[in-house]
Amino acid sequence: MCKECGCGENNGTNRLQFNANGYTEDSAKEVEKSLLGLPGVMYVHIHAHDGETTIDYDPKKTKLMEIIGVFAKHNVIAEI
């Protein structure tokens, strides 16, 4: 469960935790902003220095391919 807002208690949500390559400080902020703009994405946390990424989302509102597309758009390789 997310300490900040309590999301991720599996109320129909999925949690993705993976590493990604190619983040800069700026691109990490842009990826986070783009992901949070998708319907159903409730939480995003990115560590730009090591690529650790966590996303909580509702798969009924946002498909995994849409999330992967955000990374491709920003030239970041997600190891999902």
Question: What pLDDT score does 5 carry?
Answer: 54
Which value, in Å, is the radius of gyration of the alpha carbons in the chain? 12
pLDDT for 2 beyond 60 = no
CATH numeric code, 14-75: 3.30.70.100
Enter the pTM of the model: 0.83
64-76: per-residue pLDDT in tens?
A: 999 999 999 999 9
Q: Are strands 52-57 and 77-79 parallel, antiparallel or unpaired?
A: unpaired
- What the block records as the tokens of 1 is 């469960």
Q: What confidence category does residue 9 fall into, taking pLDDT thresholds of 50, 70 and 90?
A: low
Contact predicate 19/77, CB 8 Å: no
> Who's near 23: CB < 8 A, 6+ residues apart?
31, 46, 48, 51, 76
| φ, ψ of residue 47 in degrees (nearest 5) | -100, 100
